[in-house]
Structure 1
Amino acid sequence: MDRLTNTIRPYAWGSTTLIPELLGIDPTGRPQAEMWMGAHPGAPSRLDRGAGETSLSDVIAADPAGELGRAALARFGPRLPFLFKLLAAGAPLSLQVHPDLAQAKEGYENEERAGIPLDAPHRNYKDANHKPELICALTPFEGLCGFRDPEESARVLAALEVDSLKPYVDLLRAHPAEAALREVLTAVLTADRHEMAATVTELAAACTRLGGAQYEAYASLAHHFPGDPGVLAVTLLNHVQLQPGEALFLGAGVPHAYIGGLGVEIMANSDNVLRCGLTPKHVDVPELLRVVRFEPTDPGVLRPEASPTGEELYETPIDEFRLSRFVRAEGAAPTELTAATPQIVLCTAGNPTLGGLTLTPGEAVFVPAEERAELTGAGTVFRATVVA
C-alpha cells in the first residue's frame, strides 16, 4: 500500500480554513476548495514505491490487473472508476445537474462530431461517463438538493410578498407537479436578464426581512450572485442542513448546489456538469432542460448502516464507488480491510494505523486489490472502493 500525495484545487469558492484545520497546517490565506484522491487525469494522486514519485494513474496503467483486481478491471476497464475528494465550501458552488450514462454518451459524441474543443467554455460534455456523487459531512454542511413539492415552493415564495414573484407562484399551483416545475424553471432561465435582476434584488430584500435558515440562505446566494436567475431557481429545491456523518446521494438529473461546509465526496470519474445558475459560466438552457428530472423528491439524508465488523456503509445504487466509515475507539480489535478491489483510505480524525502506516487527519493511502490491509488504533477513516 502507498501513502498518497494529493493536489489541493484553489477554486474561488473554497474555504481558506477548513482543509488546513483538518490537516493541522497554517492557512495560506487563499481558497483551498478540494483535495483530489485518485487517478483523475486532471490531478492524479502521487506515490513513491522507491524509484521516485509517480502518478497513481501511471501506476495503474502499468499493471491494471494487479492494481485494480480482475473483477474491477473486467467491469470498469483499466482505470480507477471513482474520484475521492475532500470538499471545503467557503462560498456557494454553482447550481448544477449531471447527465445519466446514455445522455453523457450521446452528448459527448454530438460535441465531438461538432468539433467543439474539450476546453471550450461552451462545451457541456468532457467525457462519455455519468457522474453520480455522494457528499458526507465532516462539519455542519448546508446545501440544496432535488425539487420539493411545488406547493411548498409556492408557499415559500408567496410568503415573501413580492409582486414580481406572483406569476411563478401561480404557475406552481396551476399544473401537476412535473409540468409546474418544468414550466417555472424554463421561465426563470429564459426571462429577460434585466427584469430577473430586479426580481432577485426584491427577493433578497424580502428574505432578509423574514429571516430563518432557509430565507437567510437565499439572501446569501443573492449576495454572492447578484441578479443571477439561479437565486430564484433554488427556491424550487429542498434546503438541507447535514450534521457530521450525514450524507446526500445525488443521482442523474437531480439539481443541487452546495452552500458551505467541509465534507468527504466521492463520485464516478467524470467532469460532466450542466449548470443552472449561481455562476458566470456557460448555461446551456435547452440541454439542461433535456437532462433535468422534474420530479419532486425527498432529499434522502443518508446515515451509515453499521455492520458487525464496525464498518458503517453509505448505501447507494452505484457500483463505480462504495463509501464506508470506521470510527475506532482506543483498544478496539484490529479490522481486516483486505479486498478484491482497489481502495483509498482517508483518515479524518485520530492516528489510526493501516498496514504499518500511521495516519494523521487528511492523509490517504492507496491499497491495491488483494493486498493485505489491517486497520488498528483509534481514529476515524473513510474507505472508498468499488462494487465488482
Structure 2
Amino acid sequence: MDRLANPIRPYAWGSATAIPHLLGVEPTGEPQAEMWMGAHPGAPSRTPRGTLDEVIAADPERALGPRATARFGPRLPFLLKLLAAGAPLSLQVHPDRAQAERGYADEERRGVPLDAPHRNYKDPNHKPELICALTLFDGLCGFRAPDAAAELLARLEVDSLKPYVDLLGAHPQEAALREVLTALLTADPEQMAVTVAEAAAACARLTEQARGTGATWGAEYAAYASIAHHYPGDPGVIAAMLLNHVRLQPGEALYLGAGVPHAYLQGFGVEIMANSDNVLRCGLTPKHVDVPELLRIVRFEAGGPGVLRPAAGPDGEQVYETPIDEFRLSRYVLAEGGPVRRLTAPTPQILLCTEGAVHAGGLRLGPGESVFVPADEPVEATGEGTLFRATVVA
C-alpha cells in the first residue's frame, strides 16, 4: 500500500483557498482547481516506488488484480479528484464509448494532432463522471422541460429571446431543445452579445426581486447572473438557461452520463471519472466549440438532475450507485472507538480522507491525504473522520 503525493492543477476557474484549507497549508494566492489521485499519464500521483502509472505498469496483475486487468486492461480505469470551483467551468458534454471510438479513429485518420486546439477526441474512451459535494455545490445538469425553460426565459422580458421562447413551445421536446441550442450556438456573435448583456441585467434584477421572498427561482437567476459576469457575451449563458440548476448539499452527488450537458458553477467536492480526456464544449469557454459534432453527441432529453444520496451498504459503507463499472465511489463515516472497517478487495482502491483522522493499513491519513491499495492487499480502517473509497466493479 502506497501513500500518494498528488499533483494540483491550477486552472483559472479554481478556488484559491478550498484545497489549501483542507490540506492545512497556506494558500498561494493562485487558483488550485483540482487535485488528481490516480495514474493518468498527464499528471500521475507519486509513490515512494515511482509514479503510480509506473508502479502499475511494472506488474499490472499485482496492482490491479486479474479480474480488473482482464476487464479494463493494464491500467487504472478511473481518476479520482478533489475539485474546487471558484468560478463556472465550461458547459460541456461527453461522448459514449462508441462515439469516442469513432471520433478518435476519424481524427487519427485525418492526422489531427493530439494537442491541436480543435481536436475533440484525445482517446477512444467514454467519460462518465460523478461529483460528490463536500460543501454546498452549485451546478447545471441536463435539460429542463422545454415549457419550464420557456417560462424562465420569458420572465426575463428580453425581446430578442422571444423567438427562442416560441420555438420551445412549438415542437416536441427533443426537436425544440435541439432547434434552440443550435440557434443559440450559430447566432451572430455581435447580436448574441447584446442579448446576453440584456439577459444578464434581467437576471440581476430578478435576483433582487426574489431576495427575501422565498421565491425558488431567485437562486437560479443568481446563478445565471454569475455565469454572465464570468463569461460576458458568451452564447453559453443563454444555453445554460436550458439546463436544470441544482444545489447539492454536502454528501449529495450527481452522476453525469454520456450526452448529458452539464457545468459545475461553484463549490468543493470529490469527483471520480473514467480515465478519459474527451470533452465537447457548448460554451462558457474561450476554447474550441465544434457545433456539428456537439449536436451529434448531446442527448436532447428533458428531465430532473437526478441528485444521488448514498445507499447504505454492509459494514457501514455508503455507496453512490451508478450504472457503469469503471469506477465505484463510496464513503465511510468513522467514529472513535467504532468497529473496524475491513476494506480488503480483489480490485484496486484509492482511499481518501476528507475530514478528521483515519488509520488505514497502518498509515495515518489526515484531510486531503490518500493511499493506493493494490488488489487483495489487506486493509482495515479505524479512527474518527470521513473516508472516501474509490474502486472498480469487476
TM-score by length of 1: 0.99
Residue type of the alignment partner of 1:60: I
Q: CA deviation at 1:148?
A: 1.0
Amino acid at match of 2:337: G
1:161 to 131, 146, 157: 157
Looking at structure 2, the residues matched to 116 and 70 of structure 1 have their Cα atoms a distance apart, in angstroms, of 35
Q: Could you tell me how far apart the structure 2 residues matched to 1:337 and 1:217 are?
A: 40
| Partner-residue secondary structure (3-state), 1:36 | strand
Alignment of 1:1-20 (within 5 A): 1-20=1-20
Is 1:331 equivalent to 2:337 in the alignment? yes
Q: Tell me how far apart the structure 2 counterparts of residues 308 and 339 of structure 1 sit (CA, whole Å).
A: 14
Distance 2:242 2:227 in 1: 14
| Distance in structure 2 (CA, Å) of the matches to 1:28 and 1:185 | 40
Q: Who is 2:271 aligned against?
A: 265
**What CA distance in whole angstroms lies between the structure 2 residues aligned with 1:60 and 1:73?**
10
Match for 2:369 among 363, 366, 371? 363
The answer (yes or no) to whether the contact 2:80–2:273 under 8 Å persists in 1 is yes
2:144 is matched with: 148
Task: Give the counterpart letter for 1:36 in structure 2.
Answer: W
Is 1:205 matched with 2:180? Answer: no
Aligned partners of 1:77 and 1:287: how far apart in 2? Answer: 29
Work out which of the residue numbers 163, 166, 169 in structure 2 matches 1:173: 169
Match of 1:116 in 2: 112
Q: Deviations over 1:204-254 (max 9, x none)?
A: 000011001100111111110010000000110000000000000000000
Q: Of the candidates 193, 196, 213, which is equivalent to residue 192 of structure 2?
A: 196
Paired with 1:350 and 1:217, the residues of 2 have a C-alpha distance of: 32
Structure 1: distance between partners of 2:206 and 2:341:
51
Q: Distance in 2 between matches of 1:275 and 1:66?
A: 38
CA distance in 2, matches of 1:378, 1:215: 40
**Residue 230, structure 1, aligned to residue 236, structure 2:** yes
Counterpart-to-counterpart distance in 2, 1:42 and 1:308: 36
3-state DSSP class of the match of 1:245? coil
1:46 and 2:46 are equivalent in the alignment: yes
Distance 2:179 2:5 in 1: 47
The superposition leaves residues 175-231 of structure 1 with CA deviations (integer Å, 9 ceiling, x where unpaired) of 110000000000000000000000000000000110011001111111100100000
CA distance in 1, matches of 2:134, 2:21: 12
Asked if the contact 2:254–2:305 (Cα under 8 Å) also holds between the matched residues in 1, the reply is yes
* 1:21 matched to 2:17: no
1:298 CA drift (Å)? 1.3
Separation in 1, partners of 2:186, 2:35: 36
Unaligned runs of 5+ in 1: none
Regions of 4+ moved over 2 Å: none
SS in 2 for 1:88: strand
Give distance in 2, aligned partners of 1:141 and 1:174. 34
- The Cα shift of 1:79 comes to 0.2
Provide the C-alpha distance between the structure 1 equivalents of 2:155 and 2:6, rounded to a whole number of angstroms. 47
CA spacing shift, 1:308–1:341, aligned 2, 3 Å: closer
1:320 Cα offset (Å): 0.1
Aligned residues: 384
1:85-104 mapped onto 2 (5 Å cutoff): 85-104=81-100
- Paired position in structure 2 for 1:64: 60
TM-score, normalised to structure 2, is 0.97
Instruction: Report the Cα offset of residue 4 of structure 1.
Output: 0.2
Q: Alpha-carbon deviations, 1:243-272, whole Å to 9, x = none?
A: 000000000000000000000000000000
- Structure 1 match to 2:71: 75
Aligned to 1:36: 36
Quick check: 2:203–2:225 contact (8 Å CA) kept in 1? yes
SS at match of 1:344: strand
Quote the residue 2:214 is aligned against. none
Q: Would the aligned equivalents of 2:361 and 2:380 in 1 still touch at CA under 8 Å?
A: yes
Measure how far apart 1:308 and its partner are: 3.5
Deviations 1:283-336 (A, max 9, x none): 000000000000002110000001231000000001000000000111111010
RMSD: 0.5
Match of 1:255 among 251, 261, 267: 261
2:223 to 191, 194, 217: 217
How far apart in 2 are the matches of 1:102 and 1:368? 30
Q: Distance in 2 between the 1:71 and 1:307 partners?
A: 22
CA distance in 2, matches of 1:242, 1:221: 18
- Matching residue of 2:213: none
The residue aligned with 1:107 is: 103
Cα deviation, residue 377, structure 1 = 1.0
Given that 2:336 and 2:382 are in contact with CA atoms closer than 8 Å, whether structure 1 keeps it comes out as no
Q: Does 1:346 align with 2:342?
A: no
| Residue of structure 1 in register with 2:309 after alignment | 303
Cα distance in 2 between the residues matched to 1:238 and 1:59:
42
Whole-Å Cα distance in 2 between the matches of residues 289 and 338 of structure 1? 44
